[in-house]
Chain A
Amino acid sequence: NAGVTQTPKFRVLKTGQSMTLLCAQDMNHEYMYWYRQDPGMGLRLIHYSVGEGTTAKGEVPDGYNVSRLKKQNFLLGLESAAPSQTSVYFCASSYSGIRGEQYFGPGTRLTVT
């Protein structure tokens, strides 16, 4: 099992460009999450999904959109990137909801210039 994977690993964007980050999990987990990690700020939840076809806002959703068309995939989109979105993005999934262990992907380092 690959667990949770993320694509790409690194990306540099110019301000105003758009991109999509892909998260995939092969553990048949219902819940999936997108976090951003900034120095000294810990992990902050952007959006999450409780199952295929569902999405919900987390702590810092502005400037991001998500989609969960297939149970195994959770996409994070930036429509018009801003320097404030420079961060490391982690995807995670869990089997038994938000009270269960979250399995994290390896992260995507995004720089917006």
Chain B
Amino acid sequence: GENVEQHPSTLSVQEGDSAVIKCTYSDSASNYFPWYKQELGKRPQLIIDIRSNVGEKKDQRIAVTLNKTAKHFSLHITETQPEDSAVYFCAAITVRDDKIIFGKGTRLHILP
């Protein structure tokens, strides 16, 4: 079955620096890749997503890249701010099968 590996599990970066979180997936039929942010004690919220026919998508300080050949996608956060501290989850979705698998999450700490 589908497997989604997410790295690193914990990431600490200085405020203002960039953060990169990587995910790999196993099912070549996966065609939609969202990223969710979960602040402590709160519900997950979608921050950005990418479809399999696109290689990169940006939204202000956040970008996602997708390499379908290598089956991996990454979240890039630039000019990090204290409010970026949270757990980030990637997911791989196979629309054909209504299948969604989440990565195990990355806890991002923004250091002052």
Contact = CB atoms under 8 A, between A and B. Distances in A.
Contacts of A43: 44, 89, 91, 102
A68 to B, nearest CB: 14
Interface string A19-49: 0000000000000000000001111110010
B96 to A, nearest CB: 10
Contacts of A58: 100
A40 B44 CA distance: 15
Contacts of B99: 98
A45 B32 CA distance: 16
B44 A59 contact: no
A42 B93 CA distance: 15
A42 B104 CA distance: 4
Contact of A90 (B9, B43, B51, B104): B43
A104 B93 CA distance: 17
B99 to A, nearest CB: 8
Interface string B40-81: 001111100101000000000000000000000000000000
Contact of A50 (B34, B45, B89, B98): B98
Contacts, number: 51
A90 B42 CA distance: 11
Contacts of A41: 104
A99 B50 CA distance: 10
Contact of B43 (A40, A44, A50, A107): A107
Interface of B: 6, 9, 31-32, 34, 36, 42-46, 49, 51, 89, 91, 93, 95, 98-105
30 contacts: A40-B9, A40-B104, A40-B105, A42-B6, A42-B89, A42-B103, A42-B104, A43-B44, A43-B91, A44-B102, A45-B100, A45-B101, A48-B98, A50-B98, A59-B101, A97-B95, A98-B95, A98-B99, A98-B100, A99-B31, A99-B32, A99-B51, A99-B93, A99-B95, A101-B49, A102-B36, A104-B44, A104-B45, A106-B42, A107-B43
The 10 closest A-B pairs by CB, nearest first: A104-B43, A42-B102, A42-B104, A43-B102, A101-B46, A99-B32, A99-B95, A98-B98, A104-B44, A42-B105
